Amino acid sequence: MPTLIRAEGLTKYYRRPRRYEGAFGGLRTLITRQYDEVRAVDGVDFTVSDGELVGYLGPNGAGKSTTIKMMTGVLVPTGGLIEVDGTAPWRDREKNAMHIGVVFGQRSQLWWDLPLVDSFTLLGKMYRMSEADYRRRLDGFIDLLDLGPFLDRPVRQLSLGQRMRGDLAAAMLHEPSILYLDEPTIGLDAVARDRMRDFIAEMNRESGTTIVLTTHDLVDVEALCNRVVFIDKGRVLYDGSVVDLKATYAPHRTLVVQLASGFTAARAAELLGPEVPGDVIADEGPTLRIRFEANRISAQEIISAVTSRCPVTDLSLVEPELEDVMRTLYGNRTIAV
Amino acid sequence: MNAGQATCSDGPLRNLPAYLQIVRGRLRIAMTYRQNALFMLAVVILQIFILRKVWTALYGEAGVVNGVALADVLVYLTIANLQSWAMQDLAVGSYLYSLVREGRIAFDILRPAGFVPQMLAHLVGGTLSMVLFATAALPLVALVGTLGPPASSAAFGYWLLSLFFAFGISMLLNLIVGLGAFWTTEIGAFGMLFTLVSQFLAGALIPLYFFPDWLRTVAELLPFQATTFTPVAMYGGQLAGSEAVQAIGIQLLWIVLLAGAVRLIWSRALHRIVVQGG
């Protein structure tokens, strides 16, 4: 598939006025024009192909939003290359704008004081849609996102979930080929989240919309993304599939063993001894956990070792969560002061 | 409503339907918040009433001061205050500030239409709604203040033309104040100061012909007088003939200069845009 977005050595430095502490600190801050340089994005490389759904992940302040703003054309990079569909987005914003859609979860593009439908009318004219196209698309989104019940209500009276659905429709009304979603599920309840995920997956699958998604909700990532780009402190730490990410950063699986009554976990641990590779964690009572590296020993071997020595009533195997991966990745950070 | 009309044309006016839609939206917002607008209007009417009392007392027994009769001053003050109220639409300025402060400006930059024309459309809509409110209030204003006919039919024509340009100048001034959002994050105190100084220098509280010479020179070097004094003095006939033509020329000059300033400020603002937060 052809490359749609290309970033090479992409860099963004911000300059912040240096602040002084203590007496007259505020005055000094005002007078001395000294700046601290903040490296929000520091040499990022990645590409996104046409039709992909990529998760762009990282802790708070990692540089995700800054990258998105450079991809959309809001921010001009300090250095490096950013190309969307062959052109630099910031150089020709208005042309770029015609084929991108943007949702910033913490902000709304809807007209606060007016009925929701008024925002759509404006967008219809802004993107120069024909009346027929506009009607057809709006009707489509009214169905898909169930906007009907609050279409005529002022945006300020909508619930967060309703507003987000409105914002999604607003971002997609002109049928963009690329959709940037910056934390689209933030603050939503479980039902609204599911609905949002279904919609995103459908847009990607049915309309072939290329989607770049940032989120802190790892369920979003597991449900939606085949590929993730993980950044921290402005640099790419990982770029690849979710499966490989887990295999690399969370190779451990855990076998949970329920022992027959009267048999304590401590005793079982004693019986198993050092023969079983992996960490044996003996809880109080009849539950035993064995954490092992999936690429060094198979689950089969461990299970037969356990069942041959102890009376077992139940077994379950716990796969690593993406959250564990994140913890490992976050834990490796050198803490910046 | 306008089926088949708003399709893709590629001329320079291709975004006009969008801008008109913004104007329409602004008018609807003004209707939503009409109670607030009516309250503000009440403040202006009170101000007109107070000015009438003050100036009547100042004139006392004198019928004519500096060649101007009391009745003419009262008509001047009534029209000038109503007009300058309609021009001081700070709603759009504070809208721009909220866009920048909350980082929502990204959305407006990411539209396939220019940012400055979008903001001008907001200003046109905002000002239009103020004009509608002011017009609706005319009967009450006539009761509280002093309204009179224009000095002549020519004076009326000059006034209309000059008023049109006056709105242009004040919209550009409001836009410049709004664009200040890119350098400071609060409009509050500065907005109030701007309103007060511009009202005074525009001649809304004291007609320019009563200013001491040095202050009049200062006022004439600034654009504010062209928003209020110029048209209202034409209405009353104090500014007529070749002087009136010259004053309209000065208004046009201000429009060109301020439009150039907006261009310059916007290109610098865009350059330094750092969307706040995130």
pLDDT of amino acid B1: 40
Q: Quickly state the pLDDT bin for A30 (edges 50, 70, 90).
A: low
Mean pLDDT of B93-113: 84
pLDDT higher than threshold 70 for residue A181: yes
Exposed / middle / buried, residue A151 (Cβ in 10 Å: 0-12, 13-18, 19+): middle
pLDDT of amino acid A26: 65
Residue type, A50: D
Q: Quickly state the pLDDT bin for A334 (edges 50, 70, 90).
A: very low
Instruction: Give the phi and the psi of residue A106 in degrees, each rounded to 5.
Output: -90, 0
* Minimum Cα–Cα distance from B106: chain A residue: A74
Mean pLDDT of A259-264: 81
Mean pLDDT of A190-203: 90
Helix (H, G, I), strand (E, B) or coil at B14: coil
Q: Does B4 touch chain A (CB under 8 A)?
A: yes
Return the sign of the alpha-carbon dihedral for residues A256, A258, A264, A268.
negative
Which region among A13-22, B5-14, B39-48, B95-104 has the lowest average model confidence (pLDDT)?
B5-14
Q: Quickly state the pLDDT bin for A115 (edges 50, 70, 90).
A: very high
pLDDT of amino acid A10: 94
pLDDT higher than threshold 50 for residue A204: yes
Question: Which of A97, A125, A128 is the closest to B110 by Cβ?
Answer: A97
Mean pLDDT of A33-42: 81
Query: Which residue in A93, A96, A98, A74 sits closest to A84, CA to CA?
Result: A96
Rg of the Cα atoms in chain A: 25
Q: Where are the domains of chain A?
A: 3-247, 252-319
Q: Does A260 touch chain B (CB under 8 A)?
A: no
pLDDT of amino acid A275: 67
Is B4–A122 a contact, with Cβ atoms under 8 angstroms apart?
A: no
* Minimum Cα–Cα distance from A125: chain B residue: B18
* pLDDT, tens digit (0-9, with 9 covering 90-100), for B211-256: 999 999 999 999 999 999 999 999 999 899 999 999 999 999 999 9
pLDDT of amino acid B4: 41
pLDDT of amino acid A62: 85
Overall size of chain A counted in residues: 337
Which region among A98-112, A119-133, B116-130, B261-275 has the lowest average model confidence (pLDDT)?
B261-275
Query: Reading across the β-sheet that carries A210-214, which strands appear in turn?
Result: A100-104, A178-182, A210-214, A53-57, A227-232, A235-241
Report the distance separating Cα A326 and Cα A159, nearest Å. Answer: 31
pLDDT higher than threshold 60 for residue B53: yes
Q: Quickly state the pLDDT bin for B185 (edges 50, 70, 90).
A: low
Q: Does A16 touch chain B (CB under 8 A)?
A: no
* Whole-number average pLDDT of chain B: 87
Is A109–B104 a contact, with Cβ atoms under 8 angstroms apart?
A: yes
Of the two residues A154 and A216, the one the predictor is more confident about is A154
Report the distance separating Cα B186 and Cα A66, nearest Å. Answer: 24
* pLDDT, tens digit (0-9, with 9 covering 90-100), for B187-217: 677 778 888 899 999 999 999 999 999 999 9
The answer to whether B25 and B124 have CB atoms below 8 angstroms apart is no
pLDDT of amino acid A33: 66
Q: Minimal Cα–Cα distance from A240 to chain B, Å? A: 25
pLDDT of amino acid B7: 43
Tokens 């009925």 locate to A115
Homologous superfamily assigned to A252-319:
ACT domain (3.30.70.260)
Q: Minimal Cα–Cα distance from B120 to chain A, Å? A: 15
DSSP classification of residue B183: T
Homologous superfamily assigned to A3-247:
P-loop containing nucleotide triphosphate hydrolases (3.40.50.300)
* Minimum Cα–Cα distance from B8: chain A residue: A128
Which region among A111-120, A147-156, A166-175, A263-272 has the lowest average model confidence (pLDDT)?
A263-272
Of the two residues A170 and A74, the one the predictor is more confident about is A170
Helix (H, G, I), strand (E, B) or coil at A297: coil
User: CB neighbours of B260 closer than 8 A, spacing ≥ 6?
Assistant: none
Q: Does A18 touch chain B (CB under 8 A)?
A: no
